[in-house]
Amino acid sequence: MRSNEPGENSLSIAALEPVRLPARLGLFVIAVATIVGYFVVVGFAFSSLSLIGKLVETTLAALIVMDTVLAYRDRRRAEYPQNTNLAGQRR
């Protein structure tokens, strides 16, 4: 679990931890589905407003992936601190 030390996310709510990954995956799927759905329904008829919207959705999908990777990297670092040995003693 994460501790709320300075520099870490102070809005971390432990009760929401089990639903974080499904929520991120759901947001990613919806973002990608709207992009693909747009091109299926409209075809490749481009307008500047629709391209801006798809660019925003693509950015959202990329940020969701990046946030997920960083969150699980931080979680793994918190579970396995590098400044302790296998017995849990500080070096």
Kindly state the tokens that stand for 84.
Answer: 């302790």
Q: How far apart are CA 6 and CA 13, in angstroms?
A: 16
This prediction has a pTM of 0.63
Q: What distance in Å separates the CA atoms of residue 11 and residue 74, rounded to the nearest whole number? A: 15
- Mean predicted lDDT score pLDDT of the chain: 79
Q: What is the pLDDT of residues 11-53, one digit of tens each?
A: 667 788 888 889 989 999 999 999 899 889 988 888 899 889 9
Q: Supply φ then ψ for residue 24, to 5 degrees.
A: -65, -45
Q: Is 68 exposed, middle or buried (0-12, 13-18, 19+ CB in 10 A)?
A: middle
What span, in angstroms and rounded, lies between the C-alpha atoms of 17 and 4? 14
